[in-house]
Structure 1
Amino acid sequence: MSYRIGIDVGGTHTDAVIMDNNRQLVSKIKVPTTEDIGSGIKRAIAGLLTQSELDPREIQFAMLGTTHCTNAIVERRNLAKIGVVRIGAPASLAIPPFLNWPKELLDKVFVGSHIISGGHEFDGRRIAPLDEAALREMAAEWKGKVAAVAITSIFSPVDSGDEQRAQEIFREILGDDIHYSLSSEIGSIGLIERENATILNAALVHVARLMVRGFEESLAENGIRGARIFLGQNDGTLMTSDYALRFPVLTIASGPTNSIRGAAYLTDAKGALVLDVGGTTTDIGVLVQGFPRESSLVAQIGGVRTNFRMPDLLSFGLGGGTRIRGEGDTLTVGPDSVGYLLPEKGLVFGGTDLTATDIAVAKGLTELGDRGKLGSLSPQLVESAYATMIDLVEEAIDKMKTTSDDIPAIVVGGGSIILPDQLTGVSEVIRPLHFEVANAIGVTIAEVSGQVEKIYSLEEWGRDQALEEAKRLAAGEAEAAGASADSVEIVDIEEVPLAYLPGNAVRIRVKAVGQLTI
């Protein structure tokens, strides 16, 4: 029998599981996340192998869900120097690239940006000839200075020819060691936000390499050398490590989606709220047909507006390690947390910080540490703090619901022990077996997906032909990401007529999902 190992790195804990090829849990572990991340992963892998007594050679697949890329953007660390070209003059000169970017982020990545002639209209008609001479001048200017190039063309989701040609020219001069990000492969309709997502993807090239290399080394040091490596995407599916090196931006927000997928697997639920409570924050998402609901809003990542796919999540500062201060009118709950230091700093463990876990123990919701160390807490403080915590949760639930009806809520994550078995607005609180490692389970059992979003002129294509083309492209993306061709199926189709464009235009988005190639 073969096995798969799945690891999810959170801000407080690194969770890991081993599952067999029937997707049954063999072993699970939770260790503190370390500052360098890698040593925490190594410790988790070693612990799993010790528990399970498996031969490392039996591990066939290794999956990683991580916050590396999100943290790199937020903290402005390990980002690559990049050159940016927009193809679309004279139609797009009014708004330059990097508009409204935070200065400290811009300073970390900027080498140069240019807007040149070229690009297409929504129906594929050319705006202007592609300025190949300008591309060659740019490449010569950036040689030896950039690690990546971000290429964006107007309406490239309709016709990506100019982006492809620009990449060919850059590759002739800059070589294959440079990373190339094309907007037609990353974002959706909307020039500036798609360009921003493409730039961020290019900026993450170093982070992606460090992330994949570090995971490979962690596995090898524990004797796992033949396993195929996959990384979690932010739609709750997987991609190969090679695919992740091309599109590292797709790992952003993958952590909460792993928990949502894990919740779906552990409960067989197709539709429900999912509350993922960690040591620092609570993330609320929504299951739709077993997958995370996708956000329809512009996503802000590190202060930058983007429009590539993101899960619809609401995060707020309540977790197992959330600090509670004051009492009465001065009582505050978070948003700061003791995080992975909870076993040292929480009152029930002999520390000096009052945390949400201490309140949960005082209320009798869970048994942890030494309850006798809470004797100095007044009943009024406990009740007031607990009521404030629950108000935060119930307010967030109301924001995420699209109906006034009560709906089920699945609570997962190690910090979910602070939540009660009843919540206003919820028909049933479901706490499944292995809830504390739902995120690691989610990335381990995930399938592989591909998604496309394009504008079609139905006068030119016809509806049936346009749909079939979009399905074919989505299936191809799933296979490129690591899915076996015979298992790929279309799971979501969205058609939006674009009344403001001539030619009976429609935006078609198709998502395909398949099983891992074995």
Structure 2
Amino acid sequence: MRIGIDVGGTNTDAVLMDANTVAAAVKRSTSADVTTGIVEALAALQEQRAFSVDDIDAVMIGTTHFINALVEARRLAPTAAVRLGLPATASLPPFVDWPEPLVAAMQGRAYLAHGGHEFDGREISPLDPDELKRHAADIAASGSRSVAISSVFSPINSELELQAQEILQAELGPDVAFSLSHEIGRIGLLERENATIINAALRELATSIVDGLASSVAASGLTAPLFLSQNDGTLMDMEYARRYPVATFASGPTNSMRGAAVLSGLDTCAVVDVGGTTTDVGVLNQGFPREATGEVLVAGVRTNFRMPDVLSIGIGGGSLVRENGALVGPDSVGYRLNTEALVFGGSTLTATDVAVAAGWAEIGDTGRVGHLSQEAADRALDVIATRVADVVERMRTSAAPLPVVAVGGGSVLLPEELPGLGRLHRPENFAVANAIGAAIAQVSGEIDKVYAISEGSRATVIDEARQEAVDRAIAAGAHPGSVEIVDFDEVPIPYLPGNATRIRAKAVGDLALTAVAR
């Protein structure tokens, strides 16, 4: 059996899964320190369905810790960004177009150095060790504790990034953490560099958060291996999470979508996940979230690492309702819903209160919303349904019918039919779909490279790319016999010489728990 946990801004959900069957499910308020909420959720699971610690094969957690830290610009490590590319790329240095408060929060410092490659692997200029040593002296004097290294076309050839890390590490010592762009982002220098800088700024926080999550699970007596959810709905182990915290940013929406696929039996559909603070809308394709194909803005910064194509709006169970129901959200009481909503004895009118007043949900003390008029309740619920339907329409890529599945505890705010979209699928255990998605997550491997394909070599190059993605999934912990290619793109790049073609392949397989040490 597995335990899946999802830590949201309002609630912490936990499920006990026996294969794909939900054996127990609980929802608890997210605590201010987060870990307390996890311990309470695990205790509630034990009360609902007693289990032995030896029965649990693995614990999977989805968390919003890292994206929250970035958005709020807090607990970020002093970070230096070193780019290898001179004499090219000098016109747009690192941190260009970043929000100033975010750069200030991480005390960001930018350095340009010689190096980099062309798309076919040729060097732009040789690495200059003395130049890097001078940069290292300034980095040390500035107090930066984390370094992000990026190089032009490093996903094609990572050699110079690795050499630069070796030189800088020797100068700065073992206490400085390094993040390399070829391990994090895709083709596209600025966006890949930005993702690497964000990862570097979160490295110190990652260590404390991961250790805290492990402690909270251990405090419940569990000895099973612990995994965190990634942006694409697959898993990473604790060591990987310490190195690449940026990979957790969209784990909440992806877990909900993966859970929706299991609960509804639909592998191609739109998923509407209504939480306490926001509503996230995404599209499932063959059981996995459709990934964003272009740049993704994270806290106002352009990035290009793996992220699901999700649109979010400020509507949830804790959203404030004003103007006699005509205005819902975007502000929310968040995790304070259980104390501030009218039905829980508070004084704030929330979307949950409106759903209870309309008879759509039985939550808390229904008598405390008896004074609300049916007209105001209907108006607020119509506003919610219209806004959610509009987001679903924006996510469609064709006129073909697209089933819509509603999950999340806040989905009680939605009607049986969405305007213009037909009947809404609301499966059993919809309120904890996010935790279910975490519990059934698999392991992935991905490559994204530009190849120079000579005449007659296309089939060989494609086979090599597919095999590399499979090998990466197996190296990440997937059972070899279960790995398959779930996404493959081949895009010729006409403006580059040598019949250049960008190939992206993603392989997914089941977690090989027998290979994981307890």
**TM-score, normalized by length of structure 2?**
0.95
Partner of 2:277: 280
Report the aligned-residue RMSD: 1.8
- CA distance in 1 between counterparts of 2:489 and 2:221 reads 45
8 Å CA contact retained: 1:397, 1:425: no
Please point out which of 90, 93, 98 is paired with 1:96: 93
Instruction: Give the secondary structure class of the aligned counterpart of 1:502.
Output: coil
How much does 1:371 deviate? 3.0
Please point out which of 77, 90, 105 is paired with 1:108: 105
Task: Extract unaligned runs of 5+ from structure 2.
Answer: 514-518
Residue deviations 1:10-43 (CA, integer Å, cap 9, x gap):
00000011223x2322221111001111111111
Partner of 2:253: 256
Q: Where does 1:152-171 land on structure 2 (aligned, <5 Å)? A: 152-171=150-169
* Alpha-carbon spacing, 1:483–1:461, altered in 2? closer, same or farther (3 Å): farther
Instruction: Give the secondary structure class of the aligned counterpart of 1:204.
Output: helix
**Amino acid aligned to 2:425:** I
**Once structures 1 and 2 are overlaid, which stretch shifts more, 165-174 or 504-513?**
165-174
**Amino acid aligned to 1:392:** R
Partner of 2:373: 378
Partner of 1:4: 2
Partner of 1:485: 480
How much does 1:482 deviate? 2.3
Task: Extract unaligned runs of 5+ from structure 1.
Answer: none
Residue deviations 1:297-336 (CA, integer Å, cap 9, x gap):
31111111111121111111111121111228xx311111
The answer on 1:391 being equivalent to 2:389 is no
Instruction: Give the secondary structure class of the aligned counterpart of 1:280.
Output: coil
Partner of 2:437: 442
Q: Where does 1:126-141 land on structure 2 (aligned, <5 Å)? A: 126-141=123-138
Partner of 1:322: 319
**Once structures 1 and 2 are overlaid, which stretch shifts more, 84-93 or 103-112?**
103-112
How much does 1:111 deviate? 5.4
The answer on 1:458 being equivalent to 2:453 is yes
The answer on 1:507 being equivalent to 2:507 is no
- CA distance in 2 between counterparts of 1:428 and 1:341 reads 32
8 Å CA contact retained: 1:452, 1:511: yes
**Amino acid aligned to 1:214:** G
8 Å CA contact retained: 1:407, 1:425: no
8 Å CA contact retained: 2:358, 2:374: no
Partner of 2:467: 472
Partner of 2:218: 220
8 Å CA contact retained: 1:475, 1:488: yes
How much does 1:399 deviate? 1.0
The answer on 1:345 being equivalent to 2:340 is yes
**Amino acid aligned to 1:396:** V
- CA distance in 1 between counterparts of 2:135 and 2:336 reads 50
**Amino acid aligned to 1:198:** T
Partner of 2:330: 335
Residue deviations 1:433-482 (CA, integer Å, cap 9, x gap):
11110000000100011111000111289222322232233223323332
The answer on 1:76 being equivalent to 2:73 is yes
Residue deviations 1:251-305 (CA, integer Å, cap 9, x gap):
0111010000000011221100100001111100100010001112311111111
Partner of 2:232: 235
- CA distance in 1 between counterparts of 2:324 and 2:303 reads 41
The answer on 1:200 being equivalent to 2:182 is no
**Amino acid aligned to 1:348:** V
Instruction: Give the secondary structure class of the aligned counterpart of 1:165.
Output: helix
**Once structures 1 and 2 are overlaid, which stretch shifts more, 6-15 or 332-341?**
332-341
- CA distance in 2 between counterparts of 1:358 and 1:406 reads 33
The answer on 1:178 being equivalent to 2:171 is no
The answer on 1:31 being equivalent to 2:8 is no
Residue deviations 1:339-387 (CA, integer Å, cap 9, x gap):
2332333233333222212222232222223333333222322222222
Instruction: Give the secondary structure class of the aligned counterpart of 1:26.
Output: strand
- CA distance in 2 between counterparts of 1:143 and 1:482 reads 37
Residue deviations 1:202-235 (CA, integer Å, cap 9, x gap):
11101211221011100111111x3111110011
How much does 1:50 deviate? 2.8
How much does 1:418 deviate? 1.1
* Alpha-carbon spacing, 1:207–1:411, altered in 2? closer, same or farther (3 Å): same
- CA distance in 2 between counterparts of 1:97 and 1:351 reads 47
8 Å CA contact retained: 1:49, 1:56: no
- CA distance in 1 between counterparts of 2:17 and 2:395 reads 32
* Alpha-carbon spacing, 1:135–1:461, altered in 2? closer, same or farther (3 Å): farther
**Once structures 1 and 2 are overlaid, which stretch shifts more, 81-90 or 332-341?**
332-341
Instruction: Give the secondary structure class of the aligned counterpart of 2:280.
Output: strand
**Once structures 1 and 2 are overlaid, which stretch shifts more, 35-44 or 106-115?**
106-115
8 Å CA contact retained: 1:407, 1:428: no
8 Å CA contact retained: 1:451, 1:474: yes
Partner of 2:516: none
**Amino acid aligned to 1:160:** S
**Once structures 1 and 2 are overlaid, which stretch shifts more, 196-205 or 24-33?**
24-33
* Alpha-carbon spacing, 1:123–1:460, altered in 2? closer, same or farther (3 Å): farther
**Once structures 1 and 2 are overlaid, which stretch shifts more, 339-348 or 200-209?**
339-348
8 Å CA contact retained: 2:381, 2:413: no
- CA distance in 2 between counterparts of 1:419 and 1:125 reads 56
Please point out which of 414, 417, 420 is paired with 1:422: 417
Instruction: Give the secondary structure class of the aligned counterpart of 2:386.
Output: helix
- CA distance in 1 between counterparts of 2:11 and 2:356 reads 20
Instruction: Give the secondary structure class of the aligned counterpart of 1:417.
Output: helix
- CA distance in 2 between counterparts of 1:403 and 1:453 reads 27
* Alpha-carbon spacing, 1:259–1:170, altered in 2? closer, same or farther (3 Å): same
**Once structures 1 and 2 are overlaid, which stretch shifts more, 96-105 or 135-144?**
135-144
Partner of 1:401: 396
Instruction: Give the secondary structure class of the aligned counterpart of 2:504.
Output: strand
8 Å CA contact retained: 1:270, 1:288: yes
Identity of aligned residues (%): 51
